[in-house]
A = this chain, B = another copy of it.
Amino acid sequence: MAIKVFGSFISTATMRVLLCLDEKGLAYEFVPVNLAASDHKGEPFLSLNPFGQVPAFEDGDLMLFESRAINQYIAHTHADKGTPLIYEDPKKMALVSVWAEVEAQRYDPPAAKLTWELGIKPVIEMAADDAIVQEQGDQLAKVLDVYEARLAQSKYLGGDSFSLADLHHLPTLNYLMGTGARAVFDSRPHVSAWCADILTRPAWQKVLAMITNHYRSVSYSKLCYV
């Protein structure tokens, strides 16, 4: 049975899963969830994810939620297809796990708040909160200082090759590169080179093209987030 992803093209967590499927070269069906109509806060969506957030994921009789857990499943189940994303060697894999945790626990909190303030609010004609932008920008800068040191020693965060640890950054990274927060990445040479590398990956370009085509094909409304 086909893989299905229930989500929204505006959602970074949804993009994270689509990107993983494209890195693996897997076919899937995208099922849009209308966030503006709060479809994610009622049935039938709550049966897919009781926390009421996109995405949800279906693979035959298996139902999953939480984008990073979905991607772990995809990477382990289809280890032999497309980009490896994980390592068989347990010590190499442990470093992927460490930096995947760093993304989730340290990078994503400020990056997600900045994405909302600088990447999404302008689209829906809301004003950014300057105090939050300053505070979260400072927080992100401290995280990227550690990344700069890591990437001076290792081409990718998890090791010598692109892995889940890098992949999970791309949706917020892409949003932020189109905002004033870009400077915090560009001012760190190894971070900047890493961004340029991963943002041009064919699988990510494919996800972006799908999103662009979607917005061209629908009667676009600022309130229609799907």
Contacts and interface: CB of A to CB of B under 8 A. Distances in A.
Q: Which 6 A-B pairs have the closest CB atoms?
A: A66-B101, A69-B97, A73-B94, A69-B98, A69-B101, A50-B146
Interface string A98-109: 101110111000
B94 A72 contact: yes
A198 interface: no
Given A69-B100, A101-B68, A102-B66, A149 B93 contact: no
Given A62-B91, A90-B77, A51 B97 contact: no
Given A51-B146, A106-B51, A149-B50, A90 B68 contact: no
A55 B149 CA distance: 20
A102 B68 CA distance: 10
Nearest to A150: B50
Interface in A39-75: 50-51, 62, 64-66, 68-70, 72-73
B93 A76 contact: yes
Main DSSP-derived SS at the A contact region: helix
A1 to B, nearest CB: 13
Interface residues of A, number: 29
Given A50-B149, A73-B90, 19 more contacts: A51-B146, A62-B91, A62-B94, A64-B94, A64-B95, A64-B98, A66-B97, A68-B97, A69-B97, A69-B98, A69-B100, A70-B94, A72-B94, A72-B97, A73-B93, A76-B90, A76-B93, A104-B104, A104-B105
B94 A69 contact: yes
A105 B106 CA distance: 12
Contacts of A102: 51, 66
A171 B68 CA distance: 23
Contacts of A90: 73, 76-77
Interface string A148-162: 011000000000000
Contacts of A68: 97, 101
Contacts of A69: 94, 97-98, 100-101
A90 B102 CA distance: 24
